[in-house]
Amino acid sequence: MAQGWPISVPPVKRFDASGGFLQLPQGAEVAVQLRGVARPAVVVELLRAAGRLKVQLEAEGAPALWLGEGASELPELPAESSSERYALTVSPSGVAAVAASEVGLLRAATTLAQALAAGPVPCGRVEDWPEREVRGVMLDVSRNRVYALPTLFRVVDTLVQLKANRLELYFENVFAWHAQPGVWANVSPYTPDALRALGAYCAERGVELVPNQNTLGHFERWFKAEPELLRLAECPEGGVRTPWGSVQETPTGLRAAHPNTLAFLDGLLDALLPCFPDTPWANLGGDEVFDLGQGRSKAIAPPAELYFRHFAHLSATAARHGKAPELWADMFLRHPEMLPMARCRLPAARWVLWGYEASDPLAAQAEALAAHGLDFLVAPGTSSWRSFCGRTDNMLANLRAAAAIPSRGLLLTDWGDAGHWQPLAVSLPATVLAMSLAWDPTREPDLPAAVDALAHLRGLGSFLLRLGNTYRTARAEAGNATKLFQAFTRPRGEVTFDPAAARAELAALAEEAPTLGSTLLAREAQFALALQTLAVARASGEALTRRDYARVAAQLETLWLERGPRAQLDASLAEFWRAAQP
């Protein structure tokens, strides 16, 4: 953070101290004047840390705020300011801030609110702006967990504190399509009204709500729920080999560019996209299409041609709703012949380059996209899924590598593979670091302290980061997972690591856990510890009873229901209980 400025997440870029500290009157109302703010409620709520407020609104003029009776004159901003750039000056008797836009003023209010909470606030001048245009988080709401609106509102509040500007929801079959009730009948889907309410909440807070709907691969849940849709599958019998050598036994992909497929997808997008009126983007997926051109379409055209025909049509569909497509970029890496054609065949598209391992060659892959003139985001991961409690070292290296790549922005992905057992709290350190580095890749926060400040919970950051490294203590590293997780979900006897090495660290964390308290985040952290401890005990061959599993399963159920509807909880619990079988 800038030398002398209180903790700020992300750290502010520039602070020039002038001496002394802000001194607001104790017990009296504090004057707040806002100018050029169409939706002042969020700014006012952020400034509640100053005490009781007396608010005055002025409609006309550039976005600005004054706090305190003796607030100084407005600072100046460079003419070429980013729309989110702001500056604020602090004097002993007040604060004045100006921004290039209303969203920029919201960023200024966020910085000021964090400083007021950390206090005392030093006098001087802050100037700050983001380095990346897009700074967002993608939540998987399709792999069993469907987060309720109150949970998503909390996520948005966290993103505001981190000066992030995007939230994506990854859909597969969790939207209430009128024409497809069979695919969502048992998953507590999002309705159009719910999505519009969430979008309005986001827009008021300078966050863009973006849909992320797969439209080619990852249709396993659709085919299972409505077998009649197998008429649209590329390989209806399954059996496709993946790039990792395994075989995808169930059918997964649609028949690309076929008229029946495109008509079906047009109907899905025509229902879904109007629920997101405040974004010009729609992520249409397109990742991991292992069976592209391998089945019914094999004799029709090469895979690249099928891909471009498919998404050229869907791009036009999105355009009818005022949206441009975003597409995952991994198919370029598997079919490099696509790269030279991408800009011509899909000129409106933006690409999303994902990679979740510290060892992934993201920089080289990004260079290939840039060399062909493609606009792209970089999408690292939280390293939370298939891990119980995260993989701290992998997460840190993955995020730092992704943030260092020049790009349009950074999209942090939080997936729910294999049951989505990990609680939301496990992803908090990654979210804090990713959004901080997206704001400024050269300034990394004190991560434990930043997590504590954001959660208002002392010790949480250090606890989660230590817990997330117990996979390394156990020498249980594995690609896109931990061996502890793999051993828990596979038959006994397949352990190829030393789980006992993690016992001492887990025991130390167990002594510390009660000090975190009983907030939802604290209980989720304690549950992640319980999951990891149970996994170590099972992998070590300890004689566990059904009661040992039941205690952890009860925590899983309780915390799950605090974040959202029951939905597919029973499916996740069934997977969990398989580990208890002899």
Do 124 and 224 belong to one domain? no
pLDDT band at 4 (very low <50, low <70, confident <90, very high): confident
- Pairs from 363-371 (Cβ < 8 Å, separation ≥ 24): 363/401, 363/404, 363/405, 365/329, 365/333, 366/405, 366/406, 366/407, 368/332, 368/336, 368/339, 369/329, 369/332, 369/339, 370/406
pLDDT band at 576 (very low <50, low <70, confident <90, very high): very high
Do 221 and 346 belong to one domain? yes
Neighbours of 515 (CB within 10 A): 10
Write down which residue in 128, 160, 186 finishes a domain. Answer: 128
Tell me what the mean pLDDT of segment 495-509 comes to. Answer: 88
Do 119 and 220 belong to one domain? no
Instruction: Give the model's pLDDT for residue 80.
Output: 72
> Has residue 116 got a pLDDT over 80?
yes
Q: Angle 546-563/569-578 helices, nearest 10 degrees?
A: 160
The CATH number assigned to the domain holding 78 equals 3.30.379.10
Do 223 and 121 belong to one domain? no
Tell me what the mean pLDDT of segment 349-369 comes to. Answer: 97
Least confident of 97-101, 213-217, 246-250: 246-250
Query: Quick check: is 52 in a domain?
Result: yes
Query: Quick check: is 236 in a domain?
Result: yes
28 vs 26: CA distance, rounded Å: 6
pLDDT band at 553 (very low <50, low <70, confident <90, very high): very high
> Has residue 1 got a pLDDT over 70?
no
Instruction: Give the model's pLDDT for residue 493.
Output: 63
> Has residue 18 got a pLDDT over 90?
yes
9 vs 114: CA distance, rounded Å: 8
Instruction: Give the model's pLDDT for residue 551.
Output: 97
Tell me what the mean pLDDT of segment 532-541 comes to. Answer: 92
64-67 and 94-99 beta bridge pairing: antiparallel
Query: Quick check: is 524 in a domain?
Result: no
> Has residue 495 got a pLDDT over 80?
no
Percentage, residues of the chain above pLDDT 70 = 99
Least confident of 24-28, 35-39, 272-276, 289-293: 24-28
> Has residue 247 got a pLDDT over 90?
no
136 vs 321: CA distance, rounded Å: 22
483 within 8 A of 477, measured Cβ to Cβ: yes
Query: Quick check: is 95 in a domain?
Result: yes
Instruction: Give the model's pLDDT for residue 492.
Output: 67
Query: Quick check: is 119 in a domain?
Result: yes
Which amino acid does the sequence have at 490?
R
Q: pLDDT per residue over 311-354, tens digit each? A: 999 999 999 999 999 999 999 888 899 999 999 999 999 999 99
pLDDT band at 308 (very low <50, low <70, confident <90, very high): very high
pLDDT band at 184 (very low <50, low <70, confident <90, very high): very high
More confident residue, 239 or 325: 325
134 within 8 A of 102, measured Cβ to Cβ: no
The reply to whether omega before 10 is within 30° of 0 (cis) is yes
Owning domain of residue 75: 14-128
Tell me what the mean pLDDT of segment 113-132 comes to. Answer: 94
pLDDT band at 246 (very low <50, low <70, confident <90, very high): confident
The first and second tokens of residue 567, run together, are 């939905």
Do 121 and 221 belong to one domain? no
Tell me the pLDDT of the chain averaged across its residues. Answer: 94
86-91 and 240-241 beta bridge pairing: unpaired
Do 232 and 339 belong to one domain? yes
Write down which residue in 304, 322, 351 finishes a domain. Answer: 351
Q: Which of 413, 338, 407 is nearest to 366 (CA)?
A: 407
Beta-bridged to residue 377, according to DSSP, are: 352, 409
Q: pLDDT per residue over 151-176, tens digit each? A: 999 999 999 999 999 999 999 999 99
The CATH number assigned to the domain holding 338 equals 3.20.20.80
Do 346 and 218 belong to one domain? yes
Query: Quick check: is 306 in a domain?
Result: yes
101 within 8 A of 83, measured Cβ to Cβ: yes
Q: pLDDT per residue over 426-459, tens digit each? A: 999 999 999 999 999 999 999 999 999 999 999 9
Do 118 and 233 belong to one domain? no
Query: Quick check: is 519 in a domain?
Result: no
242 vs 315: CA distance, rounded Å: 27
The helix/strand count (H/E) of the chain reads as 21, 19
Write down which residue in 128, 159, 190 finishes a domain. Answer: 128
Do 122 and 221 belong to one domain? no
Query: Quick check: is 18 in a domain?
Result: yes
Our count of domains for the chain comes to: 2
